[in-house]
Amino acid sequence: MDQANALRGRIRQREEEYLSNNFSKYKNGGRSKLLAVSSGKGGVGKTNFALNLAIGLLKQGKKVIVIDADFGLANIEILLGLSPRFTLLDVFSGDKNIEDIIITGPHGLKFISGGNGLSSLPNINSKQLSYIISNLAYLDRYFDYIIIDTGAGISDSVVNFIRACEDIIVITTPEPTAITDAYSLIKASVDGFIGAGGLNFKLVVNKVDNTEEGFEAYNKLSKVCEKYLGITVCSLGSIPDDANLVRAVKKQEPVTISFPGSASAAAIEKIGFEILDIKQGPEPFGIISFVKKLVGIFNG
């Protein structure tokens, strides 16, 4: 029994050394800014926002990739009318390289289907992990922004995901149920989490009748977050309820492409400018740090 324990201990030590060596290679390689798009309540507009934000940033000359990490449903594929053959799971199983699974959509938008990939990360072994890291390092080198559509709700996988991120864009609508669910998501993410101070929550209020309604929703949420959680939530603005967006969804096209002059497209573009204005630290966070946090490895 003792021998078995000692053996396990040695294997673990070797794994840790292996990881540490492989991570340190990429220590200074990150340059992409990771933006997670999340919500408490489903159906509030995450996927549309993520896609249109990406197109807005692309139009500003940034290199952008969107990762669909909505574990249940492959939303982005449907909204873009694309059907990728391979997903992150094919990279994680070692069958594909990251370049093989990136597909190109409208305006040269790059997109990766997550499959169930990112949620199963914590369960993989060190060898697989270092293969994944070396593949993901490619994204850090080539993209300015990595936008991740996380899916809705307060499941462990979404909460872990958020905790591994630096910037989290929370989408809500002005409906009280959506605001309450957004609060619950933020609460679940920060409660008992030692790194809570490093999380930057930014709110987008979608489907508003007017900007006043957006302000009110933001004020409500930010006040309770301040009061009960002691955290500051920033405002990224609001997006009007817009029939053009619904028409675009029916055409399986992002509204910023189908109806670039529409109210919702203009609002999302404005949020893109806000994001471009946000001052970054000396070194962007990058996807490697994200994966390291996701699997709970901080060495390297």
Task: Return residues touching ligand ATP (CB under 6 A).
Answer: 39, 42-48, 70, 75, 151-152, 206-207, 239, 241-242, 245-246, 249, 264
Name which of 74 and 288 has its Cβ closer to ligand ATP: 74
Amino acid, single-letter form, for residue 79: L
Question: Do strands 145-152 and 233-240 pair parallel, antiparallel, or not at all (unpaired)?
Answer: unpaired
178 burial type by CB count under 10 A (0-12 exposed, 13-18 middle, 19+ buried): buried
Amino acid, single-letter form, for residue 115: G
Instruction: Judge contact between 181 and 39, C-beta under 8 A.
Output: yes
Name which of 32 and 39 has its Cβ closer to ligand ATP: 39
Pick from 94, 72, 206, 68: nearest CA to 147? 68
Cα 176–chain centre separation: 24
* Residue 135 CA: distances (Å) to CA of 96, 101, 166: 10, 11, 21
The least CB distance from residue 207 to ligand ATP, in Å, is: 5
Can you tell me which of 32, 47, 150, 160 binds Mg ion, judged by CB under 5 A? 47
The least CB distance from residue 248 to ligand ATP, in Å, is: 9
The C-alpha torsion from 44 through 46 and 51 to 55, rounded to 10°, is 80
Stretch that binds Mg ion, among 42-50, 104-112, 223-231, 252-260 (CB under 5 A): 42-50
Identify what 122 binds: ligand ATP, Mg ion, none; CB under 5 to 8 Å per kind: none
Identify what 43 binds: ligand ATP, Mg ion, none; CB under 5 to 8 Å per kind: ligand ATP
3-state secondary structure of 238: strand
254-293 binders of Mg ion (CB under 5 A): none
Instruction: Judge contact between 255 and 262, C-beta under 8 A.
Output: yes
The DSSP output letter for 106 is G
Which two three-digit tokens encode residue 103?
């597909």
The least CB distance from residue 76 to Mg ion, in Å, is: 8
Identify what 249 binds: ligand ATP, Mg ion, none; CB under 5 to 8 Å per kind: ligand ATP
Name which of 84 and 284 has its Cβ closer to ligand ATP: 84
- Kindly list the strands in the beta sheet with 110-113, ordered across the sheet, starting from the edge strand earlier in the chain: 103-104, 110-113, 64-68, 145-152, 33-39, 167-172, 200-208, 233-240
The least CB distance from residue 140 to ligand ATP, in Å, is: 26
The least CB distance from residue 19 to Mg ion, in Å, is: 33
SS (HEC) of 227-244? HHHCCCEEEEEEEECCHH
The least CB distance from residue 149 to ligand ATP, in Å, is: 7
Identify what 152 binds: ligand ATP, Mg ion, none; CB under 5 to 8 Å per kind: ligand ATP
The least CB distance from residue 263 to ligand ATP, in Å, is: 8
Name which of 30 and 237 has its Cβ closer to ligand ATP: 237
The least CB distance from residue 150 to ligand ATP, in Å, is: 9
Pick from 58, 61, 69: nearest CA to 148? 69
Name which of 75 and 180 has its Cβ closer to Mg ion: 75
Which two three-digit tokens encode residue 68?
């669909």
Name which of 6 and 243 has its Cβ closer to ligand ATP: 243
Name which of 190 and 271 has its Cβ closer to ligand ATP: 271
Using the rule CB under 5 A, is 75 a contact of Mg ion?
A: yes
- In the complex, the residues that contact Mg ion under the rule CB under 5 A are 46-47, 75
